[in-house]
């Protein structure tokens, strides 16, 4: 220390170059780990409360979805409507979650003409550009039928190779058993649309 006209100047010993390198390394590492942990927590929260991931098994949703596709499923279900693709967890004889399309909601009347392959909701033929072929496979449900309130009538897009609400094996789907609506295709990469 030296004194210069009422000012005291203190000299700190200079850091050695090795100490500077080590302290910078730990600072960068700490910042990188901090960012990584925050990102992991954010992804966990998004997929735990907003989106889930579901796999498509089987060909009942061809040509829209293929066996092995992975979907981002919106887990907050406030407004499920006709045409939505949903993941169903309702217990069934197949003992597996199902991926199907909502055809009718509570209060709707469903009628299927299996000879002509057309589906009517409340007396009107519905436009179905997404199906593999006309609906000709019949199961054990007699039509016309009215969907109970709080339930959905679902079918696969591959109508003649899908066990769905046309069968008592699946039947009507209660609102509480809809895990979510399919929002995007995560795999295979390239086509994210789910319609």
Residues assigned a catalytic role: 60, 100
**CB-based contacts of 89, cutoff 8 Å, min separation 6:** 97, 177, 178, 179
Query: Residue 109: CA atoms inside 13 Å, Cβ hemisphere, count?
Result: 6
Tokens (6 digits) for 93: 């004889």
CB neighbours of residue 128 within 10 Å = 17
136: left (phi over 0), alpha (psi -120 to 50) or beta: alpha
Which residues, in sequence order, are CB contacts of 157 under 8 Å at separation 6+?
60, 61, 62, 63, 64, 65, 101, 130, 131, 132
């Amino acid at each position: 220390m030296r004194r210069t006209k009422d000012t005291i100047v203190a000299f700190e010993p200079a850091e050695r170059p090795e100490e500077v390198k080590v302290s910078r390394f730990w600072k960068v590492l700490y910042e990188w780990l901090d960012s990584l942990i925050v990102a992991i927590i954010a992804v966990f929260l998004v997929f735990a409360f907003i989106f889930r991931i579901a796999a498509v098994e089987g060909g009942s949703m061809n040509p829209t979805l293929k066996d092995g596709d992975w979907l981002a499923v919106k887990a907050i279900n406030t407004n499920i409507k006709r045409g939505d693709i949903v993941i169903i967890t309702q217990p069934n004889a197949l003992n597996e979650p199902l991926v199907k399309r909502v055809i009718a909601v509570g209060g709707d009347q469903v009628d299927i003409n299996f000879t002509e392959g057309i589906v009517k909701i409340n007396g009107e033929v519905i436009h179905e550009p997404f199906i593999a072929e006309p609906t000709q496979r019949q199961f054990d449900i007699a039509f016309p039928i009215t969907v109970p309130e709080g339930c959905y009538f679902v079918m696969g897009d591959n109508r003649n190779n899908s066990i769905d609400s046309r069968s008592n094996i699946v039947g009507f789907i209660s609102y509480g058993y809809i895990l979510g609506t399919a929002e995007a295709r995560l795999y295979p990469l390239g086509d994210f649309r789910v319609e």
